[in-house]
Amino acid sequence: MVVSDFTASFTHLSKIWITVLCLTYGSSASANDPKILVFGDSISAAYGMEPEQGWVQLMSDKLKQDGSHYTVINASVSGETTGGGLVRLPKTLDVHQPNILILELGGNDGLRGYPIDKIKSNLNQMIEMAAVEDIQVLLVGMVLPPNYGRRYTLAFQNSFADVATGQEIALVPHLLEGVTTPRDLMQQDGIHPRAEAQWMIVEDIYPLLKPLMNSDK
């Protein structure tokens, strides 16, 4: 699945407002309940649909149906980059104190042509922040459209595997079918998955998330 940059869609004030909402989402959970924090961009923020249609809410529903006591907190912000995430993450971890972090960032960096080494450095620093707090991390990889050039797109895609291998964490290589995802599963922008594809994203992530939940008992 190809990712996108929606920073231009938000003013500075609206982004702050969204961030505040994300930090308070799921705050009614018991302090003793284990928590999964989803920390991503528009792909995880249910862009173009109602929040309850997005994969994060669907995964939360699935966990409840499976009898899990995990609470899912969505701290995703449309247009977010790894640099913005690096700034935001310490406070987010402090507020929610999750057991598991699903890290879905990097797509907007790639679409802006940011240096691969910088993207990897930011991801590594966020993962290391979580490790200090004994938080398990599941990294979600992204892909770019081919018009960004073979050298850059390949290096970008490989960067997630490099980080996951170096940090010894679980990796979802890409969502759906990467750049070959059928057009009818995508919104008109050709970038964001439609509501019909959100369950498929859950199916991509859940098998790698479940072992982390089991080991956290």
Active site residue 60: no
Instruction: Count CA atoms within 13 Å of residue 27 on its CB side.
Output: 10
| Average pLDDT value for residue range 110-119 | 96
Q: Is residue 181 part of a domain?
A: yes
Domain tally, the chain: 1
pLDDT tens across 131-169, in order?
A: 999 999 999 999 988 888 999 999 999 999 999 999 999
Choose, from 33, 66, 117, 189, the residue flagged as catalytic. Answer: 189
pLDDT tens across 116-134, in order?
A: 999 999 999 999 999 999 9
Q: What is the CA radius of gyration of the chain?
A: 16
The answer to whether the CB of 209 falls within 8 A of the CB of 102 is: yes
3-class DSSP state of 35: strand
Active site residue 184: no
Q: What is the CATH number of the domain that holds 195?
A: 3.40.50.1110
The β-bridge partners of 189 are none
3-class DSSP state of 195: helix
Best-predicted range by mean pLDDT (24-28, 60-64, 194-198): 60-64
User: Among residues 64, 66, 74, which one has the least CA distance to residue 101?
Assistant: 74
Structural domain including 73 reads 7-25+34-215
Q: Is residue 64 part of a domain?
A: yes
How far apart, in whole angstroms, are the C-alpha atoms of residue 86 and residue 83?
5
The answer to whether the CB of 171 falls within 8 A of the CB of 161 is: yes
Q: Is residue 166 part of a domain?
A: yes
How far apart, in whole angstroms, are the C-alpha atoms of residue 28 and residue 115?
40
Q: Quick one: tokens of 112?
A: 């802006």
What HEC string does 120-157 produce? HHHHHHHHHHHHHCCCEEEEECCECCHHHCHHHHHHHH
Choose, from 4, 5, 42, 76, the residue flagged as catalytic. Answer: 42
Q: Quick one: tokens of 56?
A: 């994060």
Q: Is residue 204 part of a domain?
A: yes
**pTM of the entire predicted model:** 0.85
Active site residue 5: no
70: left (phi > 0), else alpha (psi -120 to 50), else beta? beta
Q: Is residue 2 part of a domain?
A: no
Q: Is residue 1 part of a domain?
A: no
DSSP state letter for 107? H
